[in-house]
A and B are shown apart, each in its own frame.
Chain A
């Protein structure tokens, strides 16, 4: 671990990047069915990210207690709902949702979470990446109905991100534009 990294960068940023590289981008897009440019492959990437986050929050729950645990538990339940919604959208486009990974496979990619503070930093970093992914999807998805679904989930992820920040004693919003400005 490079000594110039901050603790958060080392724990959250690098770990979340590892999670996404190994669980998101590495998962294959739907193999057959949807026409090229339908958005199914992009939805498959978002689905992989949701599944990785669901698994990651399972690890977070092992070290969290009380109020923070209850909030992350609720986030985790929503991630499961998002994943189910994305699976339906991919199927509706004629695709097969990517298979995902076992809990053990996900677990191997996570950092060691020793304290509640570790878990909340990891949660914040995962949510920042999810918000960014859904905002990018808003630009790239070809159909307004798919974009509406992505925007709805993005609103939920923004709620999670703000919650993770508040639980750490930070302001809910870091600034007026979460990852981009007009």
Chain B
């Protein structure tokens, strides 16, 4: 991972953010998340996507193509608890990728902002845990 170019790290993060955004959009459409929570999380993911796209554009890179919704997402939309657990896992995985990217990215000016998105992802996990009524501290 350390040898990968910065733009590849950012593209990977963008793909993950797009997946999260798609998940919250689908959950809101299917009432698989409480509306206020879902709208907040979706709004944050939109901002993350916009920021990563802008950073990639400034580096002269094209955005990766959106992927097809996974069968796991479709299965997770059946009820709110199932979706919250699915989203928690997605957020957790994304937080870990941000931690890795913030440590390895070569441009030091990008480390702090990537860390700040990571911190937001950690907060999303707490929000989803709260929705599930489970212990909040990791």
Contacts and interface: CB of A to CB of B under 8 A. Distances in A.
Nearest to B136: A163
A166 to B, nearest CB: 5
Q: Is the interface of A mostly helix, strand, loop or mixed?
A: helix
A85 interface: no
A10 interface: no
Choose among A145, A152, A173, A179 the residue with the greatest number of B CB atoms under 10 Å from its CB. Answer: A173
B40 to A, nearest CB: 6
Given A147-B102, A172-B130, A180 B116 contact: yes
Contact-residue bracket for chain B: 35 or more
Nearest to A153: B99
B119 A155 contact: yes
Contact of A135 (B2, B115, B121, B122): B115
Interface stretch (B27-35, B49-57, B66-74): B49-57
A151 B114 CA distance: 10
A159 B130 contact: no
Contacts of B124: 172-173
A178 B104 contact: no
B127 A173 contact: yes
Interface of B: 2, 40, 43-45, 47-48, 51-52, 54-55, 95, 98-100, 102-104, 108-127, 130, 135-138
Given A161-B119, A178-B116, 9 more contacts: A155-B118, A159-B137, A167-B136, A173-B120, A173-B124, A177-B120, A178-B120, A179-B112, A182-B113
